């Protein structure tokens, strides 16, 4: 009497397995570029991070819904939220500049902001053309007038792409908080640096996401 029941159970199990097999589909490869584009579109018109912190030094509007982005021949995208006075010339190679910035990324799964010099109270300074800073930021600043605020979207080839590739010495420099800046300071921004490192100094990452920066140019020094 148990034989038919056992057969029925086996038949039922076979049916379930067949259904499960038919329903199962191999996982599809993730299109990182699509994810990157989606995050970029959200960031492009998001309220500019820097302005809330820049409120004491800028009267610029926080409405960025109508930003008009320009794409340079190198692929850099930028939009001016506030233009500096034309009477003050843009900086050029050999001059030291000082900026505040808010660094964000299109490649973060859990939020986009990485680090802010405004929050830290420590502007970023360097001499233009000295090789210490990513090309995308140098290009963006050279087109600004002191006092201006600009949002820039920096593609990987103008940012930290080399930090996630060979030679190993470049990777090690990035992982130790050295190499091309700007990089969140290891000693005083441990969490921010770790997040930066996981995204931009990671040799196992399959692609390099765009960097999004809100930049205020304070001026230049000889």
pLDDT at 56: 35
pLDDT at residue 29 greater than cutoff 80: no
Confidence tier at 79 by pLDDT (50, 70, 90): very high
**Cα–Cα distance measured from residue 23 to residue 6, given in angstroms and rounded to the nearest whole number:** 26
pLDDT at residue 5 greater than cutoff 80: no
Average pLDDT over residues 113-130: 92
**Cα–Cα distance measured from residue 41 to residue 11, given in angstroms and rounded to the nearest whole number:** 52
For 44, 100, 115, 144, 162, the CA distances from 122, given in Å and listed in that order, are 25, 8, 11, 20, 26
Confidence tier at 75 by pLDDT (50, 70, 90): very high
Q: What is the mean pLDDT of the chain?
A: 76
pLDDT at 179: 81
pLDDT at 43: 56
| pLDDT digits 0-9 by tens, 203-219 | 777 777 889 999 999 97
Is residue 191 within 8 A of residue 66, CB to CB? The reply is no
**CA-based torsion, 167, 171, 177, 183: positive or negative:** positive
Percent of the chain exceeding pLDDT 90 equals 36
pLDDT at 168: 66
pLDDT at 203: 78
**Cα–Cα distance measured from residue 180 to residue 90, given in angstroms and rounded to the nearest whole number:** 22
| pLDDT digits 0-9 by tens, 133-145 | 999 999 999 999 9
28 Cβ contact partners less than 8 Å away, ≥ 6 residues apart: none
pLDDT at 150: 93
Long-range pairs of 50-57 with CB within 8 A, sequence gap ≥ 24: 50/100, 50/101, 50/102, 50/116, 50/118, 50/149, 50/214, 50/215, 50/216, 51/81, 51/149, 51/214, 53/100, 53/102, 53/116, 53/118, 53/119, 54/100, 54/118, 54/149, 54/216, 57/216
pLDDT at 50: 46
**Cα–Cα distance measured from residue 180 to residue 202, given in angstroms and rounded to the nearest whole number:** 15
């Amino acid at each position: 009497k148990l034989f038919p029941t056992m057969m029925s159970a086996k038949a039922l199990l076979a049916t379930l397995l067949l259904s499960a097999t038919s329903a199962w589909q191999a996982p599809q490869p993730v299109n990182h570029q699509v994810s990157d584009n989606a995050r970029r579109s959200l960031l492009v018109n998001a309220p500019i991070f820097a302005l809330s912190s820049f409120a004491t030094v800028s009267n610029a509007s926080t409405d960025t819904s109508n930003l008009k982005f320009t794409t340079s021949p190198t692929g850099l995208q930028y939009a001016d939220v506030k233009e500096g006075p034309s009477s003050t010339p843009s900086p050029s190679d050999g001059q030291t500049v000082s900026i505040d910035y808010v660094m964000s990324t299109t490649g973060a799964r859990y939020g986009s902001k990485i680090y802010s010099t405004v929050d830290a109270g420590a502007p970023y300074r360097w001499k233009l053309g000295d090789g210490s800073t990513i090309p995308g930021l140098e290009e963006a600043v050279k087109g600004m007038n002191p006092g201006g605020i600009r949002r820039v979207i920096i593609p990987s080839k103008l940012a930290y792409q080399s930090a996630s590739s060979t030679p190993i010495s470049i990777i090690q420099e990035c992982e130790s908080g050295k190499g091309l800046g700007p990089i969140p300071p290891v000693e005083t921004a441990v969490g921010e640096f770790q997040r930066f490192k996981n995204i931009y100094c990671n040799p196992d990452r399959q692609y390099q996401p765009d960097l999004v920066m809100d930049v205020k140019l304070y001026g230049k020094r000889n």
